[in-house]
A and B are shown apart, each in its own frame.
Chain A
Amino acid sequence: MKAKEKLIEEKKVPPPTPTAPQNATSVVGVSKRFGNTSVLEDITFDVAEGEALVLLGASGSGKTTILRIIAGLEQPYTGKVILHGREVTELPARERGVGVIFQSYALFPKMTVEKNIGYGLRIRKRKRKEIRETVNALLKLVQLEEHRKKYPSQLSGGQQQRVAIARTLAYKPEVLLFDEPFGALDTQTRHHLRREIRALLRKVNVPAIFITHDQEEALELGDRVAVLNKGHIEQIGTPFEIYNHPATEYVATFLGAANLLEAVVRNSSLEYGKTRIAAELDRERFKDGACVKIVFRPEDVFLSKSEFIKPGHHKISSAVVEEISFVGAYERVRLRLEKNGGDDCATDDQFFLTTDTPESQSVKSIIATRPKPEASSTRLRVGERVVVAITSFTVLPSSESK
């Protein structure tokens, strides 16, 4: 036991060399089964030093299992976990040196705040003086100095979370793993804590992996976001990339509202009904005559009362305003697209609409949102005919999404 503990300490001695950037955490080809059900398939990703990666997925997507596999609380079926170049797949949780911030924080109820924070050092048999100094520094870092003698039950949710973070920072973790860190908190506190944790992570420069089902949280917290669906990674990229250039229909619809339209590839551009939409297409991926889906966000829709379309905007079709609702910061307009000719890919469900939920509905409508200035300069009425243009969009192969 002694020898093993020593191993942990020795491994910490060489600091990562700045010249050769090394991944703080790598998950390579990890899969996991419970009985006959496969919960994870070939999960691979890296987390760079100081980076925050968010694993975003609905419940049952396997995100918690990934976290537990990295922490050593669960064994993968295949694949490897590498922390700072050291393969830890076979190591038990206590020899990995990762910091897990559990959803319930899992603070030790019979220990005071300072005892909780010092726990990792006490079990490593560090000198009293060293423990005291580290605990003092961490209490200062998380601003809980006046609460040091309190028990966890006497603290607020946010304070408990800070204790949980400090408790892991005490032993200089390889990586911090946050399991649904804001799940148990109200919206106000949530927003506040998100910023607080971001600031704290930048200060301590420890890589972090968050798991969440909240897309807004993912976009705000992550340097990069990995979108999980049914045990595999759909897309991994910066918040900007995954929001604006979703690689799959799932990603498009999971991250906020998205409109989907069926179109055909013709002469390296798109044809929606009789409208031709110029697009730069990957010729290999999108062959002539192939059916594709055009994905665009409600805020990428531009509505015009005249046929005049601004340069750079792509005219789609004309439409009738079905419903206008005021949603605070913006106006939301539901439109019924008017059919404008034959379409090779047309099905009965020609138009797709997704709202805030990932399920797409086969309503022949699209949603547009308009900021206040635009809404007030061009007022619309229900039943009015408008021209619909989109400012930016993503093209996805039609078959892949099924």
Chain B
Amino acid sequence: MRHVRGFDVVRPLSIGMLVFMMMPLVFLPLASIFIFGTSNGLGKFWAALMAPEAVFALKLSMATSFWATVFNVLFGLFAAYVLSRYNFWGRNALIVTISLPTAIPTAVAGFALLLLWGPYGTLGRFLAPQGIQVMFTAGAIILANVFVTFPLAFGVIKPVFDTMNRSLEEASATIGATRWQTFWHVTLPSLRGAIVSGALLTFARAVGEFGSTILVSGNLAGHTQTAPLYIFAKFNEGQIEAANAIAIVLALFSFLIFSVLFFARDWLDVD
């Protein structure tokens, strides 16, 4: 549909259309966070951000997401190795099960954890008499994060394992390397990109987790209240500014992570 003078009308039209459609859907909601949050001056924004409960909520979110990420990357690596190297009965069933948490509503995930670990839960009722309380702690938040981000790292790492050239590992073995040396020097470097992007995805998703966290954490300000829970709580209390300050931080944070994912792709897969 090229114009006679060589001017392509479709191009600017379609780009304009795309941006226009994204305006009310993505750009404007994000922009309002920043407009609202800074409308009373940066000083107020900073004060809201530095409130002890806000700082705690951010720190807790980072810490719980970090540990959930560490676990899920290691687990994803291990699961991807086993499931792409060995063919066994029930292999596909395992792959489906690992991928399941993405499809389960987060509230259901939190509820399921409560039913297992809660004081009257399947396992929790045996732990409660020993004085072991799993739910309503930072540990519970990590458990919830692990559950909802379970398949993310695995999903990124497994395809790389599947397509990896097996002769590299065979070459390493004939050269004299042990399995561990081969994994460390040959397999792992090829997975570097997948591991980093899997970790970033997991972390970003965990930091934002709300549905399951609110059920299992107890939502105790200064104790088990993560950043998204803080936003929700402050909003309910009518403290829009306090909620907004944290919202800005979380928005910037996810923007940062996805910029890294997008622009560092070349670096991550560098040969």
Contact = CB atoms under 8 A, between A and B. Distances in A.
The reply to whether chain A is a binding partner of chain B is: yes
Interface of A: 1, 5, 8, 71-73, 92-100, 102-104, 106, 108-111, 119-120, 122-124, 151-154, 167-168, 171
Nearest to A95: B176
Interface string B238-252: 000000000000000
Contacts of A124: 176
* Most interface-central of B173, B176, B271 (chain A CB within 10 A): B176
* Most interface-central of A1, A119, A122, A151 (chain B CB within 10 A): A119
A108 B186 contact: yes
A8 B174 CA distance: 12
9 contacts: A94-B174, A106-B165, A108-B189, A109-B271, A110-B190, A119-B185, A168-B174, A171-B175, A171-B176
B174 A123 contact: no
Contacts of A167: 175
A94 B177 contact: yes
B39 interface: no
Contacts of B170: 71, 73, 93, 100, 102, 106
Nearest to B173: A93
Contacts of A94: 173-178
Contact of A109 (B173, B175, B181, B190): B190
B171 A100 contact: yes
Given A106-B167, A106-B168, A109-B271, A97 B176 contact: yes
A1 B178 contact: yes
A365 B200 CA distance: 72
Contacts of B181: 123
A88 B59 CA distance: 58
Question: How would you classify the secondary structure of chain A's contact residues: helix, strand, loop or mixed?
Answer: loop
B271 A102 contact: no
Interface of B: 165, 167-168, 170-178, 181, 185-186, 189-190, 192, 271
Nearest to A177: B174
Contacts of B165: 104, 106
Given A106-B165, A108-B185, A109-B271, A123 B177 contact: yes
B163 to A, nearest CB: 13
A122 B174 CA distance: 14
Contacts of B178: 1, 94, 123
A123 B175 CA distance: 9
Given A106-B167, A108-B168, A96 B185 contact: no
A311 B172 CA distance: 61
A282 B192 CA distance: 67
A73 B168 contact: no
B176 A8 contact: yes
A96 B174 contact: yes
A108 B178 CA distance: 16
B179 to A, nearest CB: 9
| The 6 residue pairs across chains A and B that have the minimum distance between CB atoms | A106-B171, A110-B189, A106-B167, A93-B173, A153-B271, A120-B175
B190 A93 contact: no
* Most interface-central of A104, A106, A119, A171 (chain B CB within 10 A): A106
A151 B271 contact: yes
A102 B171 contact: yes
A124 B181 CA distance: 10
A152 B178 CA distance: 23
Nearest to A8: B176
Nearest to A72: B174
Contacts of A92: 173
A111 B181 CA distance: 14
Nearest to B177: A123
